[in-house]
Structure 1
Amino acid sequence: MKILVYGAGVLGSYLAHVLVRGGNNVTMLARGARLDELQKHGNVIRHYFQFRTTADKVNVISELQPEDIYDLVFVVMKYPDFHSVLPALAANHSSRVVLVGNNANPAEMMDYLQANSPVQKQVAFGFQVSAGWREPGRMFTVRGPQVQMTIGGLGEDLPWRTVIDQAFVNTKYKLVYHQNMDEWLKSHFMMILPLNFIAPAHNGDLRKAAKDNKLLHQVIAAVDEGHQVLEKLGYTVTPASQLKLARKQRKMFYIMLKIMLSTPVGKILLGDKAVSADEMFALYQAFIDLKSRAGIPTPNWDTLGIHSPLLQS
């Protein structure tokens, strides 16, 4: 299949690697230093836990033209950056687009693409479970043996999911389909935002944060407050195990946090290299809007947010 990966950061680079190894004709859209790296050396990835480095040759472009048609377009970027690329995506004549990443307003983005495109746009949303960071000349990817993407539409089954399945048929990559990605994505950032308040509270010292019992309990309570906001607005928190963990299994959640913060995994997932301050700020603003609509108090969110430099933008 002819596939475009729009966005050449950590997550987009790994997705392109998977799709190339699956036998697809992959093009990556990149700019600046990353464009030069891809053109000169290919898509170089250091697989952190697997102790190996791969380099894949890919086609590279710096702009998406209307007449450039692909079977699938995966847009992989931070939430605040999606809005800047919507006009180019809408003008392009490719008909199937998957927006991958944190997203507080998927319905708004879908409406824009469908209203402003000269062709009928089929739009899906996804979230890839992997992490990493960028170093000169290569991307570091932190992942398990099989990376998973949760993917779906907004309240309905994807009638074109067979096209997506075909792209991954020869890969070690798990697709999990979900009917309502709006609920899934909102539930997801209600979990990750409070977790990202932990490191700044102790200037990045996660081992010190692991000993701050008050902070950890506030974070867990904030996750539950976020769930309550969603429930008040009529959303179903998903997956249900996330709701159960924050509301009924708080001791387990607390122990999991202490273990994570005391090991290198915590630094990988919550350290400076893994956290985008502008994305956290944008998601927090989306939370404030949801909270305002719900009209319920969130004292733990408020306390954590006041003291977080991630939100001082």
Structure 2
Amino acid sequence: MKILLVGAGIIGTIYGGRLAEAGHDVTMLARGRRLTEIASDGLRLEDVTTGRHSHVQVGAVETPAADERYDLVMVAVRDRQLADVLPIIERVGGTPDILFLLNCPLRVNELVERFGSERALFGFPGAGGVRAGTTVRYSAVRQQPTTFGPVAGQGDGKARSLAKLFDGAGFGTSIVPDMDAWLKTHAFLIAAICGALYRNGGVSAKLATDREGLALLRRGVREGFRCLRALGLNPLPMKLRLLVSLLPEPILLHSLKKFFSSKLAEFAIDGHATAAPEDMRDLADDCRKMIAMSGVEAADMQRLCSYVDNYAAGADHER
């Protein structure tokens, strides 16, 4: 498959590298120093779970040629960067499917209207990592699947085709019945986790010992779920909904403590949350908008969002 990957940051590098290793024709759209790096040296990855290093050559462009045709355009940028890249995507020749692989909980309808329900597809990455020089050190385990699903009345055929594509590149995948609901659920979950994490200086091991912080996290997520139901959406995935809604508080808090004490939490959560607090602030803003639209009282979720604001403001000041 011929793929144009828009965004050459950590997520784009992980997925572009693995898809290229699986035999697909991958071209990375990048700018500045990153464009030069990829053009001269390709993509370098290190799987922190297995210790495996890989180095793969891919195409690199700053703007797609008008006569170039792709089977799939993958968009792996931050939500706040979308406005800059959408005009570039519109200039891609032909009518390829467009997979938005990012946190965009309040932009699904806008993107479907812009590109059409037949072309605009949505997913969420199940991998994360950090940069070490020109190498991206990453984790992509089966317990964190790359998630796909239909929106706006779409069937699930294209979501299943995407899952097959990513399965073939070694990623665990999952298909949900409503990706719009999943993205909004995920927004509440991540904003709540980051709020509790930032309450503890961005250190998951400290959060693991903060019983009130863990309880606040649980209450905030439950409030988020009530907001979604008021908006006519069922929180997804169902397993998460059942855990948060039905699991007795002592058992859930024990499970959260165990998770935040783990090396996986340190690598997968601390690194990104502390490196990109402005992204988390954007997500908290999205949650506040959903709370307002729902009309639900959500004091604990609002409190968690305020922790996100305070941490991001501190990061801004340090710059």
Does TM-score exceed 0.5, indicating one fold?
yes
Which structure features the higher share of helix residues? Answer: 2
Match of 2:301, as an amino acid?
W
The correspondence for 1:176, drawn from 170, 174, 177, is 174
**Change in CA separation of 1:102 and 1:252 when aligned onto 2, cut-off 3 Å:** farther
**Unaligned 5+ residue runs, structure 2?**
none
Identity of aligned residues (%): 23
Distance 1:166 1:265 in 2: 26
Distance 1:219 1:272 in 2: 19
Q: Which whole-Å deviations, capped at 9, do the CAs of 1:268-300 have from their partners, x for residues lacking one?
A: 122144552222111111111111111111111
Which residue in the other structure is 2:38 paired with?
38
**Change in CA separation of 1:164 and 1:207 when aligned onto 2, cut-off 3 Å:** closer
1:159 CA displacement: 4.7
Which residue in the other structure is 2:188 paired with?
190
1:147 CA displacement: 6.6
Match of 1:257, as an amino acid?
L
Between 1:55-64 and 1:165-174, the stretch displaced more is: 165-174
Aligned-partner SS, 2:259: helix
1:71 CA displacement: 0.7
Distance 1:133 1:101 in 2: 17
Which residue in the other structure is 2:258 paired with?
259
Would the aligned equivalents of 2:10 and 2:131 in 1 still touch at CA under 8 Å? yes
Q: In the alignment, does 2:132 pair up with 1:135?
A: yes
Scaled by the length of structure 2, the TM-score of the pair is 0.88
Between 1:130-139 and 1:198-207, the stretch displaced more is: 198-207
The correspondence for 1:209, drawn from 207, 210, 217, is 207
Which residue in the other structure is 1:290 paired with?
290
Which residue in the other structure is 1:241 paired with?
239
Would the aligned equivalents of 1:125 and 1:151 in 2 still touch at CA under 8 Å? yes
Scaled by the length of structure 1, the TM-score of the pair is 0.90
Would the aligned equivalents of 1:97 and 1:124 in 2 still touch at CA under 8 Å? yes
1:10 CA displacement: 1.6
**Change in CA separation of 1:150 and 1:204 when aligned onto 2, cut-off 3 Å:** closer
**Change in CA separation of 1:183 and 1:299 when aligned onto 2, cut-off 3 Å:** same
Aligned-partner SS, 1:54: strand
Distance 1:260 1:278 in 2: 24
1:156 CA displacement: 2.2
**Change in CA separation of 1:76 and 1:201 when aligned onto 2, cut-off 3 Å:** same
- C-alpha root-mean-square deviation of aligned residues, in Å? 2.3
Which residue in the other structure is 1:124 paired with?
121
Q: Which whole-Å deviations, capped at 9, do the CAs of 1:135-194 have from their partners, x for residues lacking one?
A: 221111112268732113213214545764674474323443334211111111111111
Alignment of 1:258-277 (within 5 A): 258-275=257-274, 276-277=276-277
